[in-house]
Amino acid sequence: MSLLDTTFDLEVFKAQLNEELNKGLPGFDAQKIMSPSIREHALKKSDPSLARDSSVLLLFYPKNGQLYLPFMKRTTGNTSHSGQISLPGGKYEESDTNRTVTAIRETNEELGVDCKKIKILGFLTELYIPVSNFMVLPVLGYCKQRPEFKLNPHEVEEVIEMPVQELLAEKNISEFSFNTNGHKINAPYFDAKGHKVWGATAMILSELRELFLRAGLIR
């Protein structure tokens, strides 16, 4: 099966993805393909050993015969990630049993997805984010049907639903530049309906893309 097929079969997808996950992850080599140029500079000023645990959820679901992933545009504020396009997730709390619970809880709090309808598939490679000092665990999950989204207006401005085949297509990957604190930054990104998905989220998607290519789920 390829995600390019006209009819998406969730059960076949789960079986193929599970088989590929059991072979091992692409790892940081895949993540760094989409790493922004400022990352190495930021790492020199950071200490990953002091990072706070966190997680994000890549929540797959079928829609219109295709496999989809939701992203959220964060509300504009004073946080380091305000206004950015990201995956649902956040920091581990002491009340969480583990970081899988964190990812599910945050997805419920931010996007209103029913926790009981989220099933876990596995995990990608942890990624350290210098700007927020988070060690992020990407959790792979799915819903059997498109979730009913109820956005938290204090955290989420918009949900962006993307077909996976379109999101991860080579033609959908580009690069942009910007200046910050006198430094020019070059950043690869995935296009999500005109929004730039870059930074840590793009690095996570980069490993997902390599995994899907390896499994023959996309071409």
φ, ψ for residue 146, nearest 5 deg: -55, 130
Containing 188, the helix (H) or strand (E) segment is: strand 183-192
Does the pTM of the predicted model rise above 0.85?
Answer: yes
* Domains within the chain, CATH numbers bracketed: 10-214 (3.90.79.10)
At 150-181, the pLDDT tens digits run 999 999 999 999 999 999 999 999 999 998 77
* Among the ranges given (90-104, 128-142, 172-186), the one the predictor scored with the smallest mean pLDDT: 172-186
Query: Helix 200-215 crosses helix 10-21 at what angle (to 10 degrees)?
Result: 100
For residue 180, the number of C-alpha atoms closer than 13 Å in the C-beta half-sphere is: 10
Tokens of 143: 């819903």
